[in-house]
Amino acid sequence: VILYKQFSNETKAMTRTVYTADTVIKQTITLDELAEFSKNNPGEHVFFLTDCGTDSTYIIDSILTPLSVEQAERPTPDIIAIDLAASSNITVTRLKNVFGVDTYPAFIKASFDSSKNTLTNTGSITHGNKKPMTVKNLKAWFFNNQLWKGPYVE
């Protein structure tokens, strides 16, 4: 009976744990909603640029989620995901002009000045094939940008 259950062709739906994007991403907006979000929420924010592809899913599930549950209280900052998948007009030039990066997925620390209507990148870390993001370097980036809320142990 046990082997039958193990090798049967029964489909098992993937379930989400409580430690997934639902808990590490505070809110998801589109690129078109960024101006309105920034106007209504001036100040400093951490943005995660994503296209909801496999690299972005990997970063959330395998890097960000383990960091967020590393300590009793979540040490990672509130993160606003910006879904670029729906943006047909996103180019490397626009990424560079708006966020100061030329690739994504990426984390951006930025502040919005409502008096000047400007978003200023004050730090970023990107993921790429030549330089993949790791738990260690994302944690260090959070710490070096004063975003890590808990004790820092390498």
Categorize the per-residue pLDDT at 72 as very low, low, confident or very high, splitting at 50, 70 and 90.
confident
Q: From CA 150, how far away is CA 63, in angstroms rounded? A: 17
Residues 5-29 as b/e (b if ≥16 CB within 10 A, e otherwise) read: eeeeeeeeeeeeeeebbebbbeeee
pLDDT digits (tens, 9 = 90+) for 98-144: 899 999 999 999 998 877 778 899 999 999 888 899 999 999 999 99
Judge whether residue 14 has pLDDT over 60.
no
In this prediction the pTM is 0.82
Judge whether residue 16 has pLDDT over 50.
no
Please tell me the predicted confidence (pLDDT) of residue 119: 85
Categorize the per-residue pLDDT at 69 as very low, low, confident or very high, splitting at 50, 70 and 90.
confident
Judge whether residue 65 has pLDDT over 60.
yes
Please report the beta strands in the chain, taking only residues with DSSP state E, as ranges in sequence order: 27-30, 43-50, 79-83, 106-113, 118-126
